[in-house]
Structures are given as structure tokens and as C-alpha cells.
Amino acid sequence: MGFNKFFALAAGISCLAAATANAFETKARNAILVDYETGAYLFAKNHEEMIAPASMSKLMTVYVLLSKIKDGDVSLDETFTVSENAWRKGGAASGGSTMFLKIGQEVKVEDLLKGILIQSGNDACIVVAENIAGSEPEFAALMNETAEKIGLKHAHFENATGLPHPDHKVSVEDLALLARHIIKEFPEFYPLFSQKEFTFNGIRQGNRNPLLYSLKGADGLKTGHTSEAGFCLTGSAVRNGRRLIEVMAGLESNKQRAEETESLMTWGFANYDNYKFFTKNQIMAEVPVWYGAAKTVTAVVPEDIVKTIKKSGKSKYAAKIIYDKPLKAPVLQGDKIGELFITYEGETTDKIPLVAKDSVAKVGPFSRFLANLKYFVFGNE
């Protein structure tokens, strides 16, 4: 029969609807704020809409490049050649952000990486694309293949730079996910995102990310701007060991971008926190076992349960355990033997499996006969 056990919790779970309802307002057309550890959405506005991402697209260019480095296909000391195409499309004459590369120049991959991240060089992006894939269109195909592989749902790339193209679109939700992948998969390279300036060919340029200069704990990632996209930012910050990632697009000025992105990040840290509900292998119940070499088996949580919740709502969460008893032997270690339900004001928000801590073997025929006899005489005690 089913058995319920209830727990009061000083923690809980944030969900998108609860997080966004009348909580924060922004002038951005599209915005999202995500907890890095749990993936919880603290705020979202038109987050699935495919938009022109401008230079935030370069995060995918960098992701592909870093993947090649990690796989050993490319090294930081390797040099790439600057083509006339890269110089014309991405150089100073194009009017966009540039690393000021020269035709025929041999440039170290490490410098190109810095030129993309710090100087937002369109020329650097095209050089990377051509030297990795043979051409920028072929590299864009690789970007799309990679985007699908890592789970981006609303993304299509036509170039390596983010320069305007009618079919080059990404959602802020996908940009936040991409940022999360970069931080998690390439920790040895992530400090480059917070470097405030870089000098190449005798020209010093500063990082355009306003949060690096004004927000406590800010450490990346990438700005963007075109007339269609407006002023944009994918940003991240860490406070007290906790990281938030935000993406904003469609802002009207540099000043507005700086103010709005800082306000959203500050609001997120002030109003939400992460709480560990349960620890991996924490004992939750002793479940009776029928026909087993042991009378009970221990039900445990298979992994740490950490959730992002609103600080003011901790007392509204609870949890209950449901399992059938008795179980019938044999029971194998790791078998699901129950469920942990986490609730907010009585409504279930999460279902977490409970598993057997150890195996319980099935006893022989004579022992089963005695167990049946006991059940017939005394019932299920």
C-alpha cells in the first residue's frame, strides 16, 4: 500500500511563472536572467523570440574555436593567415568593430581569440572561420551543427560575426544557454572574457562590456550592437560563489544598456538564492522488504538537490515521500523504490526518485513459507 511522509522545508524551487510575475520591469525588448548552477529562470521577457543578436553571435564563433582547441585540432600558438576577404569585410574600412589586421598577416590563434572577445573584431572572426572551415559560409554551417548539438532551440547562424543578415537569428534564451556551456566547458579560457583591454598591431582597445567596470563580480561575456538588434549584452557575474547569467537585447543606447543590465543582475542577486534541499545519498526512509534477506532497505536521494528560490518564499515549500510497502525482494542497489515530491503551497513542483542504497537478496523457499505463515497469522505489521 502507499505510504506518505511529509517534511517542512526552509527551501524550495523557483519556476518561470513565479519568478517573472510583477517582479521586475525592463526597457529591453528581450531579456532573460538564469542561475548558472541550477538553470532556473529568474526573469524572462520574450526570451524565445528569434532576434538579430549582433556581435553576441561571436560567442558561438568562440565556442567552435575553443572546441577545436580542446579537441587538439587547433593550438593557441598556431598561426592563421589574414585573407583579403577578411580584411575587406571585417577591417576598418567596413565600419564595424575590428582588430586592425593586415592582408597576409600571420596571427596567432591566441591573439585572434583575444581580438574577438575583447576588441570584438569582425576581421578576427572571419580569419578564424576561413582557416578552420575553408570559408565563412562553411563555418556558419559548423556553427549551426554545433548549436543543435548543445541544445540551442532558436538559433540560426549565417556568418561568424553577427553582421546583419535576414536569416541570422538567435533567442536570448539560447544565448544564455550558450554562455553557460562556455563557462562550464572552458574554465581555463574563461578569464579572457574579463580582460579589459588588448593591444595588437600597436593599437590598444578596451573591452566594451560595461558591467566589467561597474558591477561587483562581473566577469564577461559579450556586447553587441546593430540598428536592428539595438544595444545588447550577454553578461555574467559571481557573488558569494553563486553565478548569474543574463542576456538583454533591443536597448536604445550604451547608457541604457549599462543601466538595465546592471539593474537586472543586482535584482537577481538581491531576491533569489540557491538552497540545498537534500544531499546525495541522504537517508530518507527505511522501506520494508518482503521475502528479503534484510527486513528493510534504505531509500536515499541519488544526487544533491539544489534549487533556486525567491528568498521571501522559503517557508512556502514542503516535501513528501511516497513509496509502496512492502517491496518484494530481490532489490538491487540503485533501483527506484519511491519518489520525493517537492511542493510550493501544496502544488507539486518537482518529482525526485528515491533509490535503494544497498541490494537485498531474495530468501529461499522455506524462509518465504515462514514469512507467508507470519503474514497469515499476524498480518502485515
pTM value is 0.86
Choice among 14, 45, 57, 58 that is catalytic: 58
Choice among 57, 120, 171, 236 that is catalytic: 120
For cell 513542483, name the residue: 349
Residue 58 annotated to the active site: yes
Long-range contacts, stretch 140-145, CB < 8 angstroms, 24+ apart: 142/64, 143/60, 143/61, 143/64
55: its cell numbers: 556581435
- Please write the tens of the pLDDT for every residue from 128-163: 999 999 999 999 999 999 999 999 999 999 999 999
- Please write the tens of the pLDDT for every residue from 64-82: 999 999 999 999 999 999 9
pLDDT above 70 (res 333): yes
Q: Which domains does the chain have, with CATH numbers?
A: 2-13+277-378 (2.60.410.10), 28-251 (3.40.710.10)
* pLDDT-wise least confident of 6-15, 24-33, 259-268: 6-15
Residue 57 annotated to the active site: no
Question: Mean pLDDT score of the chain, rounded to an integer?
Answer: 90
Choice among 14, 45, 55, 169 that is catalytic: 55
Quote the pLDDT of residue 312. 84
Average pLDDT over residues 5-33: 60
Strands 327-328 vs 283-290: parallel, antiparallel or unpaired: parallel
* pLDDT-wise least confident of 99-108, 261-270, 372-381: 372-381
